Amino acid sequence: MTARVQSVLNEVEYIVGYKTYIDLIRSFITHQQIVATGMRQEIDRCREAIRLAAEGHRVAVVSSGDAGVYGMAGIIIECLEQENLLDLPLEIIPGVTAASAAASMLGAPLMHDFAVVSLSDLLTPWEVIEKRVRLAAEGDFIFALYNPKSNGRPHHIETVREIVLRYRRPDTPVGLVREALRGEESSVEITTLADFTNHPIDMLTTVIIGNSQTRIVGPYMVTPRGYKL
Amino acid sequence: MTARVQSVLNEVEYIVGYKTYIDLIRSFITHQQIVATGMRQEIDRCREAIRLAAEGHRVAVVSSGDAGVYGMAGIIIECLEQENLLDLPLEIIPGVTAASAAASMLGAPLMHDFAVVSLSDLLTPWEVIEKRVRLAAEGDFIFALYNPKSNGRPHHIETVREIVLRYRRPDTPVGLVREALRGEESSVEITTLADFTNHPIDMLTTVIIGNSQTRIVGPYMVTPRGYKL
């Protein structure tokens, strides 16, 4: 969490968020009133936050990782537009996105160009996602995969593996990080492109697939930037 | 800056870094000894930090943005490997990378899949960079471009514009953020794919090019995630 988030949380009257994320910031909650809603109630959360802000209250909407990467920032702006309230003061505070958090637990896999792709097809057609995976694989981008697997679509990650294998060696390093930087909840595994789908992967996992240069250095996964040592 | 960085800076005996970045954290320097080096002296910096750590000192190496994204994390691991010191304790602390910082000042452009590409050809052949730009453009990835322009290669950004224009409308929103989140040093502009290279761009600028869905909403640049409002 950034220092800016800490000071803003301390200044607001209301904190609005998905209840799991509210639990993660319990230690910062003192005087603030909490509006916690369930999963997939993003729009309700925005409307409630905007209603409170329009009444003159100071409101923080919390998101995990970076609110600006697949997070709440966009939908808040879209709701403000719909309600003709774009003149309400809004500060978007960036955070450490899951790609960065996961990378830090693996070593330094993101030292070179990378593609961030969500495998969730709730809001995006699977054909679009699959095309992006193919093109980024061909471009030798490192991958940071968000929302890699859910019960509703267990096979997508296997399709990704098959596509990337057309362009990269089977022993390409792959890092699996679950609940990155959440203390004892976190887990880290470094495996290979050939094998990674045999390991546990769920919606709380971030998958980092190396590019053609990525290698294992001791306990770390590293993509060299290209310096001559 | 994250709370974890603040507490680690407070605990170490030495802070090693590029002198411009040391200047940015002056207010956190109390008792620590400073080892500041010039631009492009990354390897010297690593060797000095490792030498001090091997002597038993607690040392922080600072990087701007996220040390794990084109930053110092990778080269430190590579230097540790070369010096047979991979057993030295190492913590990589992630930060807010320039893509996230710039996005937060523009609105919410990174609500969908994006590609992070550095246009610096100091360590990467330009042909590789150009190929990646072409494939990510075809894949309708939002772009976050790092190191977009230097005196040595003023035309690369123009080539990027021409490539992306083959796949996207001329009025696709483009955000230019200089020195993101550095207070009064920061500047922000929202322009278009057709026109953005007519605006000032330098090595301290992060360029965010929208995808086919990105639009301007009031003062903000937003890529809708796809929610039905």
Q: Do B106 and B213 fall within a single domain?
A: yes
Cα–Cα distance between A150 and A144 in angstroms, integer? Answer: 17
Do A225 and B75 lie within an 8 Å CB cutoff?
A: yes
For residue B37, pLDDT beyond 90: no
CB contact under 8 A, B43 and A229: yes
Contacts A103 to B, Cβ<8 Å: 68-69, 73, 92, 94
Contact B94 A117 (CB under 8 A): no
d(CA B86, CA A201): 28
Residue A159 confidence (pLDDT): 97
Contacts of A129 in chain B (CB under 8 A): 113
Question: For A68, which residue in chain B has the nearest alpha carbon?
Answer: B108
CA separation for the pair A139, B163 (Å, rounded): 15
3-state class (DSSP) for residue B35: strand
Q: How far away is chain A from the Cα of B64, in angstroms, using its nearest Cα?
A: 13
In sign, the C-alpha dihedral spanning A46, A48, A50, A56 is: negative
Domain that holds residue A206: 98-222
A33 is written with which tokens?
């009133």
**Average pLDDT for chain B:** 95
Task: State whether B217 and A101 contact (CB < 8 Å).
Answer: no
pLDDT digits (tens, 9 = 90+) for A49-101: 999 999 999 999 999 899 999 999 999 999 999 999 999 999 999 999 999 99
Same domain, B33 and B74: yes
We report the CATH number of the domain holding residue B181 as 3.30.950.10
Instruction: Identify residue A39 by its one-letter amino acid code.
Output: M
Distance CA B17, CA B39 (A): 10
Closest CA to A58 of A89, A28, A102: A89
Contacts of A114 in chain B (CB under 8 A): 115-116
Interchain contact, A113 vs B111, CB within 8 Å: no
Say yes or no: A105 and A183 in one domain: yes
Query: Would residue B45 count as lying in a domain?
Result: yes
Is B21 a member of any domain?
yes
Asked whether residue B106 falls in the same domain as residue B212, the answer is yes
Q: DSSP state, B94?
A: P
Please name which of A64, A142, A178 lies closest in space to residue B74, comparing C-alpha atoms.
A142
**Which chain A residue lies closest to B223 (C-alpha atoms)?**
A74
Residue A209 scores a pLDDT above 90: yes
Domain boundary among the residues A57, A82, A107 is at A82
Quote the CA–CA distance of B132 and A60 in Å, as a whole number.
Answer: 38
A74 shares its domain with A110: no
B80 contacts in A (CB within 8 Å)? 217-218
DSSP H/E element including B45: helix B42-54
State phi, psi for A99 to the nearest 5 degrees. -60, -45
Tell me how close the Cα of B6 comes to any Cα of chain A, in angstroms. Answer: 9
Whether residues B53 and B143 fall in one domain: no
Checking if the pLDDT of A104 tops 90, the result is yes
Interface test with B, best of A43, A92, A131 (most B CBs within 10 A): A92
The residue among B53, B82, B111 that closes a domain is B82
Query: Final residue of a domain: which of A33, A48, A82?
Result: A82
A112 and A194 part of one domain: yes
CATH code of the domain covering residue B45: 3.40.1010.10
Q: Is there a domain that residue B92 lies in?
A: no
Q: Residue range B11-36: average pLDDT?
A: 94
Cβ contact A110–B68 (<8 Å): yes
pLDDT at B150 over 80: no
A229 falls within a domain: no
Residue A228 inside a domain? The answer is: no
- The gap between the terminal CA atoms of chain B, to the nearest Å, is 34
